[in-house]
Structure 1
Amino acid sequence: MNLNDALGETWDAIIIGTGIGGGMAGRRLAERGLRVLFVEQGPAGYRTEEAALNSDMFDPVARQIRGFWPTPMQARINGRDSQFFGPIGGGVGGSSVFYAATLERPEPHDLDDSADKPHPIQGWPVTHAQMRPYFDQAEDLFSVGGDPDPLAAFASTALRDPAPMSQSDQAMKQRLSARGLHPYQLHAALRRIKGCKSCLGFKCPKTCKMDGRSAGVEPALETGRAALLDRCAVRRLKAKNGRITGVVAERDGDVVTLSAGIVILAAGAFGSPRLLLASQPGGLANRNGMVGCNLMFHLNEMIAVWPGKSVAADGPSKSLGFRDLYHVDGTRLGMVQAMGIEVSYGEIVHYLKQLIEKSSLHRFRLLKELTRIPALIAAKLFGNAQVFVGLMEDLPYAENRVLLDPHDPDAIRFDYTISKELLTRRRKFRRLIRQAFTGHRRMFLGFQPELNFGHPCGTLRFGADPETSVLDPDCRAHELENLYVADASIFPTSMGVNPSLTIAANALRVADQIADQFERKTDAAE
């Protein structure tokens, strides 16, 4: 869509960002009859491309063309500054077009229980029971397939039949079950389409992998009531008398003001708070100073596991997981799942380069090339090992926060300190993961805490109390009657699973609230 057409239309809702949250909110609103404009900073891209996120690509133009976030993250972690390219998308579909399509439900205690947390924090203002219908809907819209989780208190009702498991995964499942664990085939947003190969971790040229683009934006556009304005960077929001009155955006050097009755922020846990902070001195919706605070990630615990000499190596897969360590003796930990990668030379080189990039040694480019030597040695050592990861829940601390870069509006900056209680839970989690794989040859792939920078959340917390949250339970800003948020920034806690399904389900819930309100106003006007 060109800029003049966007300015000439009357929109019921403007959605800033086209990831899973923005895509699903826009689809639901368009299907319920609202006129929706998606505004995306990155390009629409080509539907047939198969690009994977590449942290070794440094040119910002080349990165933006491929749908990567163009600039490196500026991070201060435990008081030490570092700079690196994070696993963040920057085009239509956001990061979801590159994700591995794992859509797992959180546990009831993730949303309902806050008494056992190691420090007093605000819990979720919606219950697991209130969210379950939307989990069902999201699973259906994303064509999620997999096995029922044997430990689930409330089983998924919309699961499709999964693809057959590999021989090595079947053997691993049997051995884990024999140890009294409860492994199952992971819940994945994959459809069986003729001629479509596995596209986990990179853009799908068809629609076998369902993401924010294929399950959200594209179906919304097909209704005829939605439009997409790509390559358009929103710089700030204008507000007056408790309402958003304009969306100031820049495209090809032109600065314009877009307007709609409703504005939905879905730029992610990094982007949404930065936009509010940039909108006026002190930030919009920031009377309590909480915009950007309470940044959380997951903590990754990666472990290489050998399937055994009697099992043929049949390549990496991402089909197996278990939740026996999710919540142990009152301690919030997380689920364990296959990563879908093998410990090969290329993967080891990539991993070592990322470690250097996130360290104080990132300025020494020659070190990256020297990673090839230990990678060759390690590839011989690990052979056909498969990689599993434990996703451990992070908890919110106000000092962990997203910051605004006064010189570069597109820069992702944050300050994060790893808490003592997180390190304590990590030690317990690692011990339990090692015990879970007893009987297999196994080895952890890291010694230092590894934050999952692809799972940021919590920076615009929602809750019932305006003093301790930015948004109300409907994800509307306490201070602005027509501003909503539909991404991971709303999370009060990070939970012990991948956030994608919860983002999608909550976006559908928020969109229904908006559509219901729109219908009530329309009926009253008639």
Structure 2
Amino acid sequence: MAPQHDVIVVGSGAGGGSVAYKLVNAGKRVLLIEKGPFLPRDKSTLEVREVFVDGVFKNHLVWLDSKGQDFVPGEFYNVGGKTKWYGAALFRFRPVEFEAEPDFGLLGWPFGYDELKPYYDEATELLEITSFQNEPQLQALLDKITAADPNWKPHPLPLGLSHDILSNPEEAKHFDGFASPSGYKSDSERNLIDQIRDKPNFAMLVGDPVAELIAAPGDARTIIGVKCADGSTYEADKVVLAAGAMSSPRILEDHLHASGLDLPCGDLLGANFKMHINSAVLGFSPFKDHDVLRKTAVLYNDKFPHSSMQCLGWIDPELLAVQAPPWTPGFVDKFLGTRAIGFWATTEDSSSAENRIISGGPGGKPIMDYTIDRLPHAVKEHHAMIDNWIERLLGAGLVGMDKYMGIAGTAHALGSMVTGDDPKSSVVDPRGKVHGMENLYVGDGSPLPRASRVNPSLTIYAWGLRLGEHLSSGA
């Protein structure tokens, strides 16, 4: 009997939503499986305590780190994936960021920027990317910094954000790291899945994780479907893993272990995991803040070519209290919170085969064997950039402090199934198919060999759109 679906897509984030969108509009029968639920459309996703303190919407699965210690990554499992929670900063990678840089430990793509450009263009239109003017206080600060040091060059931040948000101050102050119940923020659910949800050739299964891949009888290399946690099975001509760079490799790892299958790329599965080196930088002014949106600019400095300094959204006393030590008096949080302006310092982490995602197997704890100690060049540049920026803040009249976000800050997880032409040095071929496997593709950030110096979401959308087009044309 023929499969009920042409393609099964596992995961509904940027990559999965893009693949499904492209396939459904091409007439393919698609089943999209998302392990998490739909998010509520009430205002609970704007509440600081529920989102940041209680972690109501976050992953609660305990992982092991490189030292075997328990920790909980900041992942989100819901329809739309992490795109519901991102800050909607949607950048293109630069052409140079598709090339290898051995001296910095950076792998190259198997193709250049021009290959992704039409899909960047398509994603830009689908996600309604725009920019906003800097508000007065932010603009005044940036003017002081760039006048003192012209090496810092500000640019408008490309945002998937409706200008209507400015008429709703509560949402304007709570879009960066929050899910928008009003739909002001472009994301995989609103801009992609909602556009295909009512089509007869689309089906979606929510709240039932994929537990294993199903192979053809006697042929572990040929994937014909998936089995979910509740025991239900679904078959299709092709399966696309788009569960994220921390989940997709584990699904394949478990299949290889259970079947005894040995792939040429097997040793690289889960390796070269990347997540950026990210730090929050706060500047405190003697004057109260009156800006609202705040996240409207990004700055680059040629002295730090793999790094960027991005404005964060609104910082208020409640948000600051979440990050402050527990012994800090409440009146200090309140005083500083009304005077804080935030920045997000990002440096592309080098690739290391030792930094990897490892499945714990059925019932075991998954492992993120990742440490920035293996990335000395990236760490050196990251610290140098932050030191320079804090000095610039001081010159502009603000006292600065920084905080490394640590390994739990997995918003930019990438690279655990890198793409390339050679099965001995990559896991996924340039069209998204797993080397040595039949009918199995990867549509999330796992194949990205580089992370760039900025948020990678738009590149994941573009990779997904490109994969969807290839699959719809019979690739």
TM-score by length of 2: 0.88
The CA distance in 1 between the partners of 2:40 and 2:441, in whole Å, is: 30
Which residue in 2 is equivalent to 1:213? 189
The CA distance in 2 between the partners of 1:428 and 1:285, in whole Å, is: 43
- Root mean square deviation of aligned Cα: 2.7
Does residue 318 (structure 1) correspond to residue 286 (structure 2)? The answer is no
On the 8 A contact 1:24/1:215 being kept in 2, the answer is no
Which residue in 2 is equivalent to 1:268? 244
- 1:286 Cα deviation after fit: 4.5
Which residue in 2 is equivalent to 1:495? 452
On the 8 A contact 1:110/1:495 being kept in 2, the answer is yes
Corresponding residue to 1:192 among 155, 163, 183: 163
Does residue 33 (structure 1) correspond to residue 27 (structure 2)? The answer is yes
Identity of aligned residues (%): 25
Which residue in 2 is equivalent to 1:22? 16
Corresponding residue to 2:382 among 418, 426, 429: 426
On the 8 A contact 1:122/1:463 being kept in 2, the answer is no
Post-superposition CA distance 1:12-57 (Å, at most 9, x none): 1110000111011111111111111110111124344541573543
Corresponding residue to 2:141 among 169, 172, 188: 172
Paired residues for 1:249-328 under 5 Å: 249-251=228-230, 255-281=231-257, 286-288=263-265, 289-306=267-284, 313-315=290-292, 317-325=294-302, 328=303
Q: Relative to structure 1, is the Cα distance of residues 227 and 322 closer, same or farther in structure 2, using a 3 angstrom cutoff? A: same
The CA distance in 2 between the partners of 1:332 and 1:429, in whole Å, is: 10
- Find the residue that maps to 1:189 and give its secondary structure: coil
Does residue 99 (structure 1) correspond to residue 53 (structure 2)? The answer is no
Does residue 380 (structure 1) correspond to residue 365 (structure 2)? The answer is no
Unaligned regions of 5+ residues in structure 2, if any? none
On the 8 A contact 1:285/1:480 being kept in 2, the answer is no
Does residue 399 (structure 1) correspond to residue 354 (structure 2)? The answer is yes
Which residue in 1 is equivalent to 2:319? 347
Which residue in 1 is equivalent to 2:223? 244
The range that moved more, 427-436 or 216-225, is 427-436
Q: What is the aligned residue count?
A: 457
The range that moved more, 285-294 or 201-210, is 285-294
- 1:285 Cα deviation after fit: 7.6
Which residue in 2 is equivalent to 1:415? 369
- Find the residue that maps to 1:269 and give its secondary structure: coil
Does residue 71 (structure 1) correspond to residue 61 (structure 2)? The answer is yes
Corresponding residue to 1:137 among 122, 131, 140: 122
Post-superposition CA distance 1:214-264 (Å, at most 9, x none): 11211121433211110111001022443212211134xxx1221111111
Q: Relative to structure 1, is the Cα distance of residues 246 and 383 closer, same or farther in structure 2, using a 3 angstrom cutoff? A: closer
Q: Relative to structure 1, is the Cα distance of residues 217 and 302 closer, same or farther in structure 2, using a 3 angstrom cutoff? A: same
On the 8 A contact 1:337/1:389 being kept in 2, the answer is yes
Q: Relative to structure 1, is the Cα distance of residues 312 and 407 closer, same or farther in structure 2, using a 3 angstrom cutoff? A: closer
Q: Relative to structure 1, is the Cα distance of residues 80 and 432 closer, same or farther in structure 2, using a 3 angstrom cutoff? A: farther
Which residue in 1 is equivalent to 2:307? 334
Which residue in 2 is equivalent to 1:470? 427
The CA distance in 2 between the partners of 1:408 and 1:372, in whole Å, is: 38
On the 8 A contact 2:278/2:404 being kept in 1, the answer is no
Q: Relative to structure 1, is the Cα distance of residues 479 and 299 closer, same or farther in structure 2, using a 3 angstrom cutoff? A: same
Which residue in 2 is equivalent to 1:155? none
On the 8 A contact 2:51/2:178 being kept in 1, the answer is no
TM-score by length of 1: 0.80
Which residue in 2 is equivalent to 1:57? 54
Which residue in 2 is equivalent to 1:446? 402
Q: Relative to structure 1, is the Cα distance of residues 471 and 55 closer, same or farther in structure 2, using a 3 angstrom cutoff? A: same
Post-superposition CA distance 1:498-520 (Å, at most 9, x none): 011110011111111111117xx
The CA distance in 2 between the partners of 1:275 and 1:203, in whole Å, is: 27
On the 8 A contact 2:65/2:368 being kept in 1, the answer is yes
